[in-house]
Amino acid sequence: MQKTWKVRPHDQALVASIEKANGVSPVVAQLLAARGITDRHQIAEFLDKPFQNLRAPLLLPGVDKASERMFEAIQSGEKICIYGDYDADGMTATAILVRCIRMLGGNVTYFVPSRLDDGYGLSDQALEKVHKEGAKLVVTVDCGVSSIHEAETAKQLGMDLIITDHHQFGETLPDVVAIVHPALPGHEYPFAGLCGAGVALKLAWALCQRASGDKKVSDAQRNFLLIALGLAAIGTVADVVPLLDENRLIVAHGLVFMHHETVTGLRHLMKLNKLDQKSALDSQDIGFCIGPRLNAAGRLGQAQLGVELLTTDSPQRAEALSEYIHELNSSRESLERRIQKSANKMIAEQHLADEPALVLNSRDWHKGVIGIVAGRIAEKYNRPTILIAQEEVACGKPATGSGRTAGNVNLFEALNTCREHLVKCGGHRAAAGLGVMDEEIENFRHAFCQYVSENTVPEDFEASLKIDLEVPLSHLTLRTMLDLDKLAPFGMANRRPVFCACGVKLTAPPKKIGGGERHLSLQVSQQDVTMRAVAFGGGEWAEQLDWEAGVYDFAFKPTINEFRGRRNVEMQIIDWRKNAVMAELTT
């Protein structure tokens, strides 16, 4: 879908004052102004990322009471079960607390539900299982804050329950020993954006302080907490929470420590992806390499193995697990490519691109990966998209749906209006899941599309791309990139800058690369400057780009590609169009 490019306007006087007062380059000054970071103190903290700005753990609501009960259990030898979640945030949070309790001499085990069999969060069946295995204390990570009924089940079974979570809670909170949550009612913690692993890190830190009897922990505990900081960085980036405030500090410093020292399994996984050869790690390494591999284990029902990878100290087991999870990710990618190809074919053959919303279903789709594909379809067509996997309907079970929004549509609200056709639904504004019986899919499709049609206007779906500034390729030097890195880590709420370059030519035919030829590699030039560009997921553009006669404008994110010790600036293409001047000359 053609996007309207919107180059951000800039207050040149403000940019000049930021540049002069803070000793930064014009590009960095312009990007700081665009992000609303203009105060000198604000700028210093944003660029310097002082480690000491991580708040003391006992300030986090619920940590004092939770750490007291957990330390009591550690000392008395009670069996503690860490009850996790099946995504990368849940896995890293589980690993942090398991490793912490082991280090302090506690008796600990863990349980992670299967995405395919158990579904999200606490369940009565799982609580009964861990109770039979002797658990006296259950500590959730990344789930549980809305589990009112399950909290009662734990109490009836005679188990104490501590909940650590960061998700939205209802009007009533579970009746448990303690709830650790950055936005807990009645408290005023300054930053509500921590992910599950960030919450677990604070709790582990408090446990170490209790074990030491002091705010200053032992050397062994400090080394553990620095490793845990790296695990929390993975959860923070992978869970797509805002990279602001404490999250920014966790990721910035966690990446540094993770590069030098990390758990055995993660070291093997990084080696498989050649991250061990990099001079430094960045958030993209988590977002594109580590996070997807852990999430692949969860999506394909193997989250327990993801946690084992992060908790084992056996080099042999770590190597075997990392290789298996690496292969699972390849399987996940293959499944996604097949589903995406199938979905695009449906849209084309049934002429659905102009519909207000897309609801697609198939008996051949794997329910563990449809959410990722729904996101890509929603982005491509700029339409709210629901994909429904009917793989289990032959057994009389509901089909599983996963959706991603587009435009201004509140997906959770839209699904709520269609509840009469659904077995269940849940989620939030941007993403949601559902269960629907086979015979109700058509009724649901009609109701969902009708809601979107009645609650939107065409302008809601006008695709646009925000561009920070136009730059000539000659300005994309390593020095410029080092300046840009001061704004890192990049991610949610602090996106990597998007630039555009106009009047660019191709110097060689576009080349499809990667599994299934999904990606695109280009050699581009502007005046006397030539560089490499890559478009992830842009393989289909190969036939549309005329390398011999075409002149183009490219929207891109500038990055550094490091290979065999050499570092080169590269463009990550996110959109393109025929150069406006050349287009006028040829019409």
Residue 587: pLDDT band (50, 70, 90) is very low
Alpha-carbon distance 297 to 306, whole Å?
Answer: 6
Residue 264, SS3 per DSSP: helix
Which distant-in-sequence residues (6+ apart) come within 8 Å of 325 by Cβ?
269, 293, 294, 296, 297, 302, 305, 306, 309
Six token digits for residue 570: 């590269």
- Which residues of the chain form CATH 3.10.310.30? 350-461
Q: What is the pLDDT of residues 29-71, one digit of tens each?
A: 999 998 999 999 999 999 999 999 999 999 999 999 999 999 9
Structure tokens given for 351: 């002429």
pLDDT tens digits, residue range 173-220? 999 999 999 999 999 999 999 999 999 999 999 999 999 999 999 999
pLDDT tens track for 216-238: 999 999 999 999 999 999 999 99
Coil, strand or helix: which one is 329?
Answer: helix
Q: What is the SS3 string spanning 18-64?
A: HHHHHCCCHHHHHHHHHCCCCCHHHHHHHHHCCHHHCCCHHHCCCHH
What pLDDT, on the 0 to 100 scale, is given for residue 426?
82
- pLDDT band at residue 408 under the 50/70/90 scheme: confident
- Compute the C-alpha angle 401/407/413, nearest 5°: 50
What pLDDT is attached to residue 584? 45
Reported for 268-273, long-range contacts at CB under 8 A and 24+ positions apart, including other chains, are 268/315, 268/318, 268/319, 268/321, 268/322, 268/323, 269/293, 269/309, 269/322, 269/325, 269/326, 271/322, 272/322, 272/323, 272/326, 273/326
* Cβ neighbours of 418 (radius 10 Å): 22
- Do the Cβ atoms of 444 and 419 come closer than 8 Å? no
In the chain, % of residues over pLDDT 90 = 84
Domain 465-585 has CATH 2.30.30.100: no
Cα pseudo-dihedral 572, 575, 576, 577, rounded to 10 = -170
Instruction: Note the pLDDT of residue 586.
Output: 41
Res 564: pLDDT = 75
CATH 3.10.310.30 fits 350-461, yes or no: yes
Q: Is the preceding omega at residue 174 within 30 degrees of 0, hence cis?
A: no
Per-residue pLDDT tens over the stretch 451-502: 999 999 988 888 889 999 999 999 999 988 988 999 999 999 999 999 999 9
pLDDT per residue as tens digits for the range 530-555: 999 999 989 999 999 998 888 999 99
Taking the domain 57-326, which CATH number applies? 3.90.1640.30
Closest CA to 173 of 131, 192, 145: 145
406, 379 contact by CB (below 8 A)? yes
HEC assignment per residue over 274-319 = CHHHCCCCCHHHHHHHHHHHHHHHHHCCCHHHHHHHHHCCCHHHHH
pLDDT of residue 394: 75
The mean pLDDT of 167-173, rounded to a whole number, is 88
Q: Are 421 and 401 in contact (CB under 8 A)?
A: no
**What is the pLDDT at residue 165?**
96
Answer for the pair 308, 277: CB distance below 8 angstroms, yes or no. Answer: no
Task: Report the chain's mean pLDDT, rounded to a whole number.
Answer: 94
- Whole-model pTM: value is 0.92
Q: What is the 3-state secondary structure (H, E, C) of 220-261?
A: HHHHHHHHHHHHHHHHHHHCCCCCCHHHHHHHHHHHHHHHHC
**What is the distance between the alpha carbons of residues 378 and 437, in angstroms, rounded to a whole number?**
23
Enumerate the CATH 2.40.50.460 domain ranges in the chain, comma separated.
465-585
What pLDDT does residue 583 have? 46
**Pick from 116-125, 267-276, 463-472: least confident:** 116-125
